[in-house]
Structure 1
Amino acid sequence: MKDQSQSDFAANDGKFIDPAVTAKGEARAKVALERLETLWFNTGTLCNITCVNCYIESSPTNDALTYLTETEVTRYLDEAETLDPRPREIGFTGGEPFMNPEMIAMTRAALERGYEVLILTNAMRPMQRPAVLAGLLALNAEFPGQLTLRVSLDHFSPTEHDEMRGAGSYATTLDGMDWLRDNGFRMAVAARSLWHETEAETRAGFTALFMERNYKIDAQHPGMTVIFPEMDMGVEVPEITTACWGILNKSPSDVMCATQRMVVKRKGQSPSVVACTLLPYEAEFDLGSTLAEASGAVALNHPHCAKFCVLGGASCSA
């Protein structure tokens, strides 16, 4: 895997170096963990496909983040039970989560504790294996209303989607979504804003697709059809200072790291907790091996913090 730090900072030379101050010497913004609303688990970076500009560089060969196990997930779920309040939601992301052989067992462990569970998936062949489908059917029947699968559908048209994910991927993903529809699963969609369309045009395109295929997904709801900004490492972004909150009329509460943390397992290491889903590799954003250790404030010392979270206003949660 390439050195991500070099590509991340190429267009921001001299910025995002000191966690306390910006390149101009101004106080850098920090975000306190107000409550742990969503606890994410990265199930591993292996994926059945290689997408253009995948922020985590998932692929059939990238195992920089190795598979989490049910035992490891359960340890964090046990710790989460001691929090007051405990998390509202457990999220699973990858890579492709259904590549992980213990995905159904990990999902069950979260559902059994009464959590809402969100799984991010491309709904392709790993999810469509018979054993996985049988496991999903059992979970959805046993825990009705608790499970949502957010499907990565980059665009409402096959040409643009396949441009990002490979020829034929659109059709295969819709096969998976059709199965989820026919079996009564709650679905959401994650898309990208890459094609010089307005948000209204993008949502209108998804509305037409969802109506055509009878998907019970609200294309106008930002939590059901999530449109992520592109994370272009070649674009210079401003650093976020403490003064920015007032200038932008935003609150630290709006940023992911105010309410979310993610568990990862780097190759050859034990699991640890990172600040958010976007920064799984950077050592600076590794907050410790337990949820308690990861409860401190996070300095917004990365281009993603500015472009994706503060200025883009995105969140990976439901």
Structure 2
Amino acid sequence: MDGGTEHPLKFSDPLRTAKGETRAWVDPIALRTLWFNTGTLCNLACVNCYIESTPSNDALVYLTAAEVAGYLDEIEREQLGTEEIGFTGGEPFMNPDFMPMLEDTLARGFRALVLTNAMRPMEKRAETLLELQQRYGDQLEVRVSVDHYAQPQHETERGPRSWAPMLKGLRWLSSQGFNLSAAGRTCWGEDDAAMREGFRQLFADENIHINVDDPHHLILFPEMDEQAEVPEITTACWGILNVSPDDMMCATSRMVIHRKGEPHPVVAACTLLPYDAGFELGRSLKQSLRPVRLNHPHCAKFCVLGGGACSAT
């Protein structure tokens, strides 16, 4: 592995590291999960939002139901074998087309994974969301962002008065029997066991049914800091770290985004890198299924070294 981020040429050449070693890449093995970024607008302005979502950031504009349907058609037409459709933002429930696109996804037989803060935008769609849950059951999963099991830390990230509305939404989802998961962060200086024990107590106190011992139902994401010292990943790293490129997110997933001012959506390699043109892979899913060079600090810290992954598959 190449050393810290202080070298000015680090992460600048897609083929070579700053030391001239061959940069690692990931070949696609399947499109198991297709993500749609429904738009960067959000009801919150979190301190460390990787995508910089706020109530005013529309750098990624709202996708339409027709645009989503076009990509779902391509999955079927090209027989890509995709199993799961993920929706992220921003806050997906703010997109005016979100419920139709979610219903279309479920009606076609895909599993759907919705990432949300479970606050007012979701509450406003509760009736329709519950109807979908009653029709499709566990085919629909809702994952709620709970950055820490204690209010002060959660609100340090999410902002004042964000705790109680989130808990209200989480309790409602659990009481209605949704296939439910939670996503926390690991930036608090606590080990995995301590974090899971804290969440266990919170969920017990609030009568929320999430198995904290299941790493799919309570996901603890590594922090992403582009200024932190991170090694570049070379082809030798796979053997040194005993990590397989097939386990990286970009081996099995892609994300559709629509940048403001552009005439059409495009496909990006990764949910974490919507603004980096170097990770744009074309307009179609078929075009996008080509190797991805790990030419960004997030590739190293979050995926290779941190073991982070967003999808269920």
1:273 aligns with 2:267: yes
Q: Is the 8 A contact 2:115 2:145 kept in 1?
A: yes
Trace 1:217-236 onto structure 2 (pairs within 5 A).
217-236=210-229
Match of 2:100 in 1: 105
Distance 1:14 1:176 in 2: 46
Distance 1:42 1:12 in 2: 32
Q: Is the 8 A contact 2:266 2:280 kept in 1?
A: yes
Long gaps (5+) in structure 1: 1-8
Task: Determine helix, strand or coil for the equivalent of 1:141.
Answer: helix
Match of 1:174 in 2: 167
1:13 is displaced (CA, Å) by 2.3
Trace 1:9-24 onto structure 2 (pairs within 5 A).
11=6, 13-24=8-19
Match of 1:187 in 2: 180
1:125 is displaced (CA, Å) by 0.7
Task: Determine helix, strand or coil for the equivalent of 1:40.
Answer: strand
Distance 1:126 1:282 in 2: 28
Moved more, 75-84 or 236-245: 75-84
**Structure 1 residue ranges, 4+ long, deviating more than 2 angstroms after superposition:** 9-13, 82-85
Q: Is the 8 A contact 2:137 2:179 kept in 1?
A: no
1:177 is displaced (CA, Å) by 0.9
Letter in 1 for 2:149: F
Match of 2:292 in 1: 298
1:48 is displaced (CA, Å) by 0.3
1:285 aligns with 2:287: no
Residue of structure 2 aligned with 1:51, choices 46, 49, 60: 46
Moved more, 202-211 or 257-266: 202-211
Q: State the percentage of identical aligned residues.
A: 56
Match of 1:89 in 2: 84
Long gaps (5+) in structure 2: none
Match of 1:118 in 2: 113
Distance 2:234 2:6 in 1: 19
Q: Is the 8 A contact 1:29 1:241 kept in 2?
A: yes
Distance 1:66 1:227 in 2: 28
Letter in 2 for 1:100: N
1:254 is displaced (CA, Å) by 1.2
Q: 1:249 to 1:10 in 2, by over 3 A?
A: closer
1:144 is displaced (CA, Å) by 1.6
Q: Is the 8 A contact 2:7 2:18 kept in 1?
A: no
TM-score (structure 2 length as normaliser): 0.96
RMSD: 1.2
Q: Is the 8 A contact 1:128 1:176 kept in 2?
A: yes
Task: Determine helix, strand or coil for the equivalent of 2:137.
Answer: coil
Distance 1:194 1:20 in 2: 31
Q: Is the 8 A contact 1:11 1:233 kept in 2?
A: no
Task: Determine helix, strand or coil for the equivalent of 1:262.
Answer: strand
Residue of structure 2 aligned with 1:148, choices 141, 152, 155: 141
Q: Is the 8 A contact 1:12 1:236 kept in 2?
A: no
TM-score (structure 1 length as normaliser): 0.95
User: Deviation per CA, 1:62-100, whole angstroms, max 9, x where unpaired?
Assistant: 000000000000000011113445111000000000110
Letter in 2 for 1:233: E
Task: Determine helix, strand or coil for the equivalent of 1:145.
Answer: helix
1:10 is displaced (CA, Å) by 7.4
Match of 2:194 in 1: 201
Q: Is the 8 A contact 1:67 1:100 kept in 2?
A: yes
1:233 is displaced (CA, Å) by 2.2
Residue of structure 1 aligned with 2:75, choices 63, 80, 93: 80
Q: Is the 8 A contact 2:41 2:56 kept in 1?
A: yes
Residue of structure 2 aligned with 1:33, choices 28, 31, 36: 28
Distance 1:183 1:12 in 2: 52
Task: Determine helix, strand or coil for the equivalent of 1:87.
Answer: coil
Q: 1:11 to 1:215 in 2, by over 3 A?
A: farther
Distance 1:80 1:60 in 2: 32
Distance 1:229 1:41 in 2: 22
1:234 is displaced (CA, Å) by 2.2
Match of 2:305 in 1: 311
Moved more, 215-224 or 299-308: 215-224
Task: Determine helix, strand or coil for the equivalent of 1:184.
Answer: coil
